[in-house]
Amino acid sequence: MIKVKNLYHSYSNDENYAVDDVSFEISKGEIFGFLGPSGAGKSTTQNILTGLLQLQKGEVEVAGYDVKHIKNKMFNKIGMSFEQSNVYNKMSGLENLEFYGKLFDVDTRNPMELIKMVGLDGKENIKAGKYSKGMKHRLTFARSMINNPELWFLDEPTTGLDPAIASNIKDIIKEENNKGVTIFLTTHNMYIADELCDRVAFIVDGKIRLIDSPKELKLKYGEKLVEVEYLREGKPIKESYSTVVEEEKNQLIKVIKENNIQTMHTKEATLEEIFIKVTGRGLV
Amino acid sequence: MKLWYSFTKELILSSKSWYFYIELGMAIILLLVLLFVVPEDFDSKSEEYMYLDVPQVVKDRYRDNLKDEDLDEESQMVEVEADKRTFQAEFYETDESEIYILDNMEALNAFSSGERVPTVHVRVNEENQIVHTYYLQGYETQKLKNLLLVFHNRKAGYDVIEDYSDNIPVRSLYQNIEPLSDRENVIPVFLTFNGSLMSLFIIAAYIFLDKSEGIIKAYAVTASSVWHYLLSKIGVIIVTSIATSLIITIPIMGLQPNYFAMLLFIITSGFFAASLGLYITSFYKDIIQAFGVLYIVIVIMIMPNISYFTPSWDPDWIKIIPSYVMLQSFKEIISINGNIAYVLVASLGFAVLGLDIFILANHRFKKTLTL
C-alpha cells in the first residue's frame, strides 16, 4: 500500500536532512507505527506521503500513486487525521462532515454515523468553535473516515483524550483495520503503538533505526525472566528466574509448588525501553 | 461541482463572520458621507474684498462692470464680519469670484489684519491715475504677484499676454462625455479602494486565518484541488465587492452608470487584486510577516489618486499602476457616454493578468501547504 525508497527531505535545501535515506514498505491491511520523539522526522515523512510536502528526493508510492506526480484521485483512497484539530469553527460538527463529504468522488459515509461513532451525537448541531479540544480532535478523527479510506493516516489519534474516549478511538481503529483498512500511525505514545501496530519503525534524527513487530522486538530485546513474589514463613520474598536456563526453570517450578505465590509475571521489555535501548534517545 | 460546494460553503462562512457585515456597514457609511458630507460641487470661488476710495463716477463705472459680470446682474447689500465687528458691503458673485465692496478703510483693515485675507484698496493718486494697493498676506506665490503686476501695467505686458494666450493649445479633458459633479467624481475612488483593491487585503486576512487554523491542510488531503479552495475564496470576495459597490453607486447615480460594464470590471479587477493578495500571502506564515509588503502595495496603489484629482499631473509611470486604470475605468463606467471600450480593454487586461498571477499563487500554495 505504501512503498518508500531512499527518501530524503531538507527544509533548507541543503544536505541538512530532516528525513535522511528512509525506506520502508507497508502491506495492505497492516497497521504500521511510525515512532519517534518530536523533531525526529515523523511528520515530515507523513506530510510527503500525503502530498502536503513536495517530494524532493527518493521514490514514494502511496495507494498505487506516484507521489512525485500526485493526482487528486489518490485522496479518494486515503484519509488523514491531523494531530492539531483543523475544522471550520463557524460550522457545526455535522456541517463540517457534510461539507468534506462533498469533496470526494467516491461514496461517502453517513456523517451522523461518524458523529455517533466518536461520541459526539447530541452535539452535532453545535458550532465546532464551541467544542472542547478533545471534541474537536474527535471531529477531526471522524472527518478522516468520511470517504471510507483504504489507507488511513493517523497522527497522534489519542493525544489529549481522556482514557475512556481514547479506548473508544482505539476500538474504532481496530475495527476499521479488521475491515481491511491499512493504517499509518504516527505517534510518540508507545503504549498505543504496542497495542495496535503490526509493525513499528523507530525514527530518530531523520533516520529509521529499526523496523519490526512489537512482539519480535520484545522477544529480541526483553529480558527472558519471570518475577515471582511469595510468602516464606510469613515474610514476603521477591525473586527472578530465567525462562531459558534449565536450572532456574526447575527452581521456579519448585517455588510455585512449595509456596504461597502472591504475584508472578514475565518481565517483558516495554516498547519505550526498547526504543531507548536501540536509539539511545528518549521519546519526548 | 466541488468548486460550487466550496464557494457556497465560503459564502455561508462569510455571512457568519463580522467582517462581512463590517464591509457592508462601511459601504453604507461611505454612501452617507457622499450624500450628506460631500457637496454636489465643491465651492472653489475666491473671495475678494475691495474698498473703492475713488470719485463717485469711477465707483459707478466699477459697479457697472461688476454688475455685467454678476450671475444675476444685481448687487446685494450684505453684512460681513471681520475682527469681531460687523460691516456693510455690496456683494457681487461672478463665475469665478465672490466680491465684497466695503464701505471704508477701517473695514478693509479689519479684513486684512483680523481675517488675514488679501484685500485691495483702489484709489486715485495726484496724477488722477487709478492705483490698486494689494494687502497680501505673505503666502501668495510669486506667480500671482507677477500676474497682478502685469495685469495692472497693461501697457507693458498686455499685448504679450494676449498673443501668448491666443496661441496656447487648449485640450478639453471632457470630449463627448458629460463632466461628473464633484460628488460623483469621488465615487470611482470609493469603488476602487473599497471594492477592487480591498480584495487584496481581505483575501490575505482570510487566508492567514485559515492557515492558522490548519484549514488549508485539511482541504489539501481531499479529492478537491487547492485551486478550488482559492477560487471559492476569491468568488466570495468579489460577491461582497459587487454588493458594496452597488450600495454606494445606485442611490447616487441611479441608472446613469453602465451596470453591465461595472459588474464585469468589478469581477475582473477584483479577481486581479485578490490573486495578487493570494500570491503575496503564499510567501508568508502570518499577516504580521506579510504586513511590510502589504504596506508598500497600499502606498503604491494610493499614488494614482493624486493624478486623479490633479489631471494636469499625469506622468506615464503612474499609468501602469493598476489603481490608476481602476480609477479611470470606474469614472468611464459612471459617466454619460463614458469610454466603455477602455473599460472592456482594461477588464480583459485584468482578467489575463489575474489569471497568470492566480496560476502562480496556486503553484506557490501547493508548495507551501505546511507553512
Q: Which of B36-40, B123-127, B168-172 has the lowest mean pLDDT?
A: B168-172
Tell me the chain A residues in contact with residue B2 when contact means C-beta distances shorter than 8 Å.
102-103
The closest CB to that of B223, out of A52, A87, A104, belongs to: A104
Please state the rounded mean pLDDT for residues B147-156: 68
How far is it, in rounded angstroms, from Cα B305 to Cα B321? 11
Mean pLDDT score of chain B: 85
The B-side interface with A (CB below 8 A) comprises: 1-2, 5-6, 9, 12-13, 16-17, 213-215, 217-225, 366-367, 369-370
Closest Cα in chain B, distance from residue A93 (Å): 14
Domain definitions of chain A by residue range: 2-213, 223-267
Residue B342 has pLDDT above 70, yes or no: yes
Cβ contact (<8 Å) for B224 and A103?
A: yes
pLDDT recorded at residue A219: 79
CB pair distance less than 8 Å for A104 and B213: no
Kindly determine whether residue A73 and residue B17, on different chains, have CB atoms separated by under 8 Å: no
Instruction: Using the Cα atoms of residue B131, residue B136, residue B138 and residue B142 in order, give the sign of their dihedral.
Output: negative
* SS3 (DSSP) at B170: coil
| pLDDT score for A259 | 85
Judged by phi (left if over 0) then psi (alpha if -120 to 50, else beta), residue B29 lies in alpha
Question: In this structure, which topology does domain A2-213 adopt according to CATH?
Answer: Rossmann fold (3.40.50)
Question: Angle, to 10 degrees, between the axis of helix B226-253 and the axis of helix B259-281?
Answer: 140
β-bridge partners, B89: B78, B102
> Which of A48, A86, A126 best tests the B interface by mutation, with the highest count of B CBs <10 A?
A86
Residue of A nearest to B9 (CA): A99
CB A34 within 8 A of CB A42: yes
Length of chain A: 284
Is A52's CB within 8 Å of B217's CB?
yes
Interchain pair B218, A102: CB under 8 A: no
Q: Are A133 and A85 in contact (CB under 8 A)?
A: yes
Chain A residues near residue B9 by CB distance under 8 angstroms: 88, 91, 99
Q: In which region does residue B23 sit, left (phi positive, over 0), alpha (psi from -120 to 50) or beta (all else)?
A: alpha
Chain A positions in Cβ-Cβ contact with residue B12 (cut-off 8 Å): 91
Lowest-pLDDT choice from A158-167, B80-89, B172-181, B289-298 = B172-181
Model ipTM? 0.83
CA distances from B138 to B110, B113, B146 (A): 17, 12, 14
- Cα A266 from Cα A251, distance rounded (Å): 15
Is pLDDT larger for residue A248 or for residue B355? Answer: B355
CA distance linking residue B324 with residue B302, whole number of Å: 9
Tell me, what's the pLDDT at B75? 87
Tell me which chain B residues have a C-beta less than 8 angstroms from the C-beta of A85: 214
Which burial class, exposed, middle or buried, applies to A75 when counting CB atoms under 10 A from its CB (0-12, 13-18, 19+)? buried
Q: Which residues of chain A have pLDDT under 50?
A: none
What's the pLDDT tens digit per position in B224-283? 888 898 999 999 999 999 999 999 999 998 888 999 999 999 999 999 999 999 999 888
pLDDT (tens digit per residue) in B32-75 = 998 888 887 776 677 889 999 888 888 888 888 888 888 888 88
**HSE of B69, CA atoms in CB hemisphere, 13 A:** 14
pLDDT reading at B174 higher than 60 = no
Residue to test with chain A: of B8, B209, B213, B221, most A Cβ within 10 A: B221
The pLDDT, as a whole number, for residue B369 is 64
Candidates B222, B364, B370: best to mutate against A (most CBs of A within 10 A) is B222
Q: According to the model, what pLDDT value does residue B170 have? A: 67
Amino acid occupying residue A122:
G
* Residue of A47, A75, A91 with shortest CB distance to B222: A75
Of A53, A79, A91, the CB nearest to B370: A53
What confidence score (pLDDT) does residue A152 get? 95
- Please, which pLDDT band fits residue B89 given cuts at 50, 70 and 90? very high
